[in-house]
Amino acid sequence: MYSSLYFAYPLSDLVLDRFCSHILSKIHQKVKWLDIESPSMERILLSTNYPNLVGIGLYNIYLENAVHLFSDDRLFTSTYKKQISSLVIDIKASGEENPTRNENIVLFTHIFNTFTNIKYWSIFNLVSIFIF
């Protein structure tokens, strides 16, 4: 992922392949934080174990995808659920101007059920910001 002031752009398939197979396999034990954009997040999270991972930033993700992501036990094993203490999510605007209160509650519930050691989290989109 590379970014400009307000946008995160996905890596090409070739770069992502090399990143997952060659680079992450060599540095995975040193990774403490991952900033991942939506199209490649599943691939990066499943490519290796991250024993020192304490924080994740997820960018350009639709609300529905975020809810699904936090209910997928393949991506967040019991180890990650206990070791992740910081989370930043950039919700990508969909057709609606602003997520409803119920949609936010569903997302927050999934986050707190997924990560049992969360100390800092920030969820933002173009309209509203939630920092806790």
Query: Domain range spanning residue 115?
Result: 2-131
Residue with tokens 């203490």: 85
The structure's pTM equals 0.77
- Could you give the CA distance from residue 94 to residue 88 in angstroms, rounded to a whole number? 19
Which residue from 89, 100, 93, 88 is spatially nearest to 126, judged by alpha carbons? Answer: 93
- Could you give the CA distance from residue 50 to residue 79 in angstroms, rounded to a whole number? 9
Confidence class for position 5, pLDDT limits 50, 70, 90: very low
Helices (H), the chain: 13-18, 24-27, 38-47, 63-70, 78-83, 101-114
Task: Calculate mean pLDDT across residues 44-50.
Answer: 90
Write the pLDDT tens digit of every residue in 61-111. Answer: 888 888 888 888 787 777 788 899 999 998 876 665 565 667 778 888 888
Question: Can you give the pLDDT at residue 131?
Answer: 52
What is the distance of C-alpha 56 from the center of its chain?
5
Question: Can you give the pLDDT at residue 2?
Answer: 45
Confidence class for position 118, pLDDT limits 50, 70, 90: very high
- Could you give the CA distance from residue 119 to residue 43 in angstroms, rounded to a whole number? 26
Overall domain count for the chain: 1
Question: Can you give the pLDDT at residue 100?
Answer: 67
